[in-house]
Chains A and B, each alone.
Chain A
C-alpha cells in the first residue's frame, strides 16, 4: 500500500525524523493561510500523487511570495501530471503540500527495504542524491553503499557510522544520521513498511540533516494489524476498477489491450497474458479469481472485466485442481446470463471434471467458444476480435 508524501512525513515526525514544516492543501483550502502560518520567505509547492518523478513533470515549484504560492498551487491542482510512472494520460492532482523552503548544501539518497537475497532488511544510500537511484546504480555503482542488517541484532551503531561516512557526513550531521537511521529502522519494523525512501535527504547550509522528500510503502499482508495506516489510504489515487476488484478480493490490474482475461492463479494468469501476446493479441488486464473460482467470484470478475469498455473479447482460463470445472462452468454460464454479454467469450477449462464442464458450456443458451488447450484458447480469442 502507498501513502502520500505529506502522510509519510507525518509518520516521520511521529518517529522524530526531521522533515520541513508543511501543510497539505486541497482546492478548497486557502494556500495564503498555509503560507503565512509557515512563515519565512521561500516555500515549495509539491503535487501529492502516488507516482514518482513529480519534479521533472512540473509538479514541484519553488516560490517566494504568497501570490506566487497561490498561483503555483492553482496551476498544479489544475494539471494532469505526467511523469514516467503515470503513463501518457497523466494523473489528476487533488492535493498539494506547501512547505517551508530549505537552504540545501548537499543532496543525498537513503532507502530501506527487505533484500530477498539475504532475507534481511538492507539500507541503501548514496552521496548522489536527488537523482534516480537506478541511474546512479547503472552508471556509477561505486557511489552506492549497502548495509545489510542482521535481523537478530538490529541496526548497530557502528553501521550507522559507516553509513554516515559513505554519505560524506561530518560534524553534527554524523550524530544526527545515527539518530535518524535508528528511528527509520524502528519505523520500518513497527509499521510493516516494505520501502522507506528519502530522495533527497539533505544537509542544510546550517549543517543539519533533514528529509526533504519521503516515500513509504507498506506490506499489504500486514495491514490487518495497522488500522492507522489503512486510514491513510487514498482511493482516488487508485484505478477505480482495481479498487473495486480489491474490495471483492480479486487481484486485478488494468493493462492497455482489448482481450479481457479471467484466470485462476497468478502464475497461470501471467502465462495466459503472455500467450495472448505471443499469438498476436493484447491483454486488457491481469485478473486472478483465486484458488476457489466459485460462481460468485466468476460473476464479480465478469462485471469488473466488462466495466472496461476497451474489452472486445474475453478469455476464461481455469485449471481446476481442487475446484471442480463443472461447478465453474455452471458459474460461468449463470454469470454470463446475468451480465448482458455483448462480446465473444472463449472458455478453456482443464483439470477436474473438465469433460462435464464442456458439455455444460456447449448446452448453454449463450454461445461460448470452447477451447481444448491453452494455445487453442489464445488463438481463438485473438481471432474472435
Chain B
C-alpha cells in the first residue's frame, strides 16, 4: 500500500532533456519506477536513454499512459508546466523546481483546486514509496519499506530523519517532501488524511520548520479528526533569528509568529510526540510506535 505512488505509477518527466531532468529520470528508473515518457517542447520524437520524448504532456498521456508527472522545468516556465500536466489529465504532479515566483503559483493553486489532481511541491524532493516507486530526487538506498509515513517541509533533513528510522529498522510506508515555498500543493493535513486510510501506515512523522502555519493546521486537523494513528513531530529552526528568511522562502519568523517554540506547543497540545532534538527523531518515533503496539 502506501500513498500517492506505487507500482501502478507511470511517470512523465517534464524537462527530461535538461541536466537535472535527465539525471533524476535515470535515478528514478534505476530505483524501479516506471518512467514511461519525457516532455521537452520542440524535442518530440527524440529518445532520452530509451525513454521517448514528446512535445506535450498530452502526447505522453495519450501514447504512453502517463498518470504522474515529475517536473524539472526552470522557474520562469514551471507554473505553466504544472498547468499543462493538470490539463492533460495527470493525477499526481510532483514539482521539484526551486525558485518559482509566488505570483505565478497563486493562480496555479486555485486552478488545480477545481480539478481532481494533486500537486506535491514546488521546491521539494518528491515522493517515495520504498520498494515500489521513487518520484523525486531523494537517495533511494537510505529508505526501507515499512509502516512509518513521513511528511516533511525539508529535503536533506528528511533524509536525515529517514536514515535515523532505517538505522532503527523502522521502515517507511511513503515519504513526502511537501516543499519549502509559501504556496504549495498538498499540505500536512491533506497527507495525514491519506495516511489515516492507508493500512500499511501505523504512525506518521511530521517534519516541520519555522514560518507559516502548516504545523498549526496539522495540529488542528489531528484534534478535529480525532486522528486514529500516533503522530510524531519535529520543528527545525529553534535558533533562527526573527525576520530572516532561512533558505526556504517559507521559513521565516515574522511578527513574533511561526517560532519553533510556538509550533512545538501546538503539536504537544494535539497529542503529538515531539522530538526534543534533531538527533532524537528516530528514537521518538520508536517510542511512539511501541506505546501503541
Contact = CB atoms under 8 A, between A and B. Distances in A.
Given A119-B183, A321-B156, A351-B142, A255 B217 contact: no
B240 A286 contact: yes
Name the residue in B75, B100, B139 with the highest tally of chain A Cβ atoms < 10 Å from its Cβ.
B139
Interface residues of A, number: 55
Tier of interface size on chain B:
35 or more
A321 B27 CA distance: 11
Given A151-B106, A192-B103, A272-B278, A319 B240 contact: no
Given A134-B255, A291-B155, A266 B247 contact: yes
B70 interface: no
Nearest to B180: A266
Contacts of A319: 156, 159-160, 163
Given A114-B106, A266-B154, A269-B246, A321 B137 contact: yes
Contacts of A350: 160, 163
Interface string B254-289: 011000100000000000000011110000000000
Nearest to B27: A322
Interface stretch (A6-14, A59-67, A215-223, A359-367): A215-223
Interface string A361-385: 0000000000001110010000000
Name the residue in B24, B217, B278 with the highest tally of chain A Cβ atoms < 10 Å from its Cβ.
B278
B243 interface: yes
Interface stretch (A90-98, A170-178, A273-281, A330-338): A273-281
B103 A134 contact: no
B103 A267 contact: no
B256 A134 contact: yes
Given A85-B243, A152-B110, A267-B154, A221 B277 contact: no
A267 B256 contact: no
Given A274-B236, A274-B237, A221 B106 contact: no
B157 interface: yes
Given A116-B183, A221-B99, A265-B154, A277 B107 contact: no
A95 to B, nearest CB: 21
A265 B241 contact: no
Nearest to A282: B239
Contacts, number: 170
A356 B229 CA distance: 40
B251 interface: yes
Contact of A220 (B141, B159, B249): B249
A376 to B, nearest CB: 9
B236 A267 contact: yes
B182 interface: yes
A291 B236 CA distance: 18
A6 to B, nearest CB: 22
B212 interface: yes
A264 interface: yes
Contact of B155 (A265, A278, A373): A265
A375 B275 CA distance: 14
A224 interface: yes
Contact of A222 (B103, B109, B239, B250): B103
A275 B158 CA distance: 16
Name the residue in A189, A270, A351 with the highest tally of chain B Cβ atoms < 10 Å from its Cβ.
A270
B102 to A, nearest CB: 5
A21 interface: no
Main secondary structure of the interface of A (DSSP, over half): mixed
A137 B278 CA distance: 33
B165 to A, nearest CB: 14
A299 interface: no
Nearest to B216: A117
A270 B239 contact: yes
Given A116-B182, A219-B102, A224-B76, A268 B157 contact: yes
A270 B107 CA distance: 31
B110 A119 contact: yes
Given A222-B102, A278-B277, A117 B246 contact: no
Contacts of B243: 85
A266 B251 contact: yes
A271 interface: yes
B124 to A, nearest CB: 11
Contacts of B163: 319, 350-351
Interface in B101-152: 101-107, 109-110, 137-139, 141-142, 152
Given A265-B247, A268-B154, A274-B238, 17 more contacts: A114-B182, A221-B249, A266-B209, A266-B246, A267-B152, A267-B247, A267-B251, A268-B236, A270-B237, A270-B247, A271-B157, A273-B239, A274-B277, A277-B238, A286-B240, A351-B159, A352-B141
15 contacts: A114-B102, A119-B106, A119-B183, A134-B256, A221-B249, A224-B75, A267-B157, A269-B246, A271-B157, A273-B239, A275-B277, A278-B277, A291-B155, A321-B138, A378-B279
| Complex A-B, nearest 5 residue pairs according to Cβ-Cβ distance, in ascending order | A267-B154, A266-B247, A265-B156, A267-B157, A222-B101
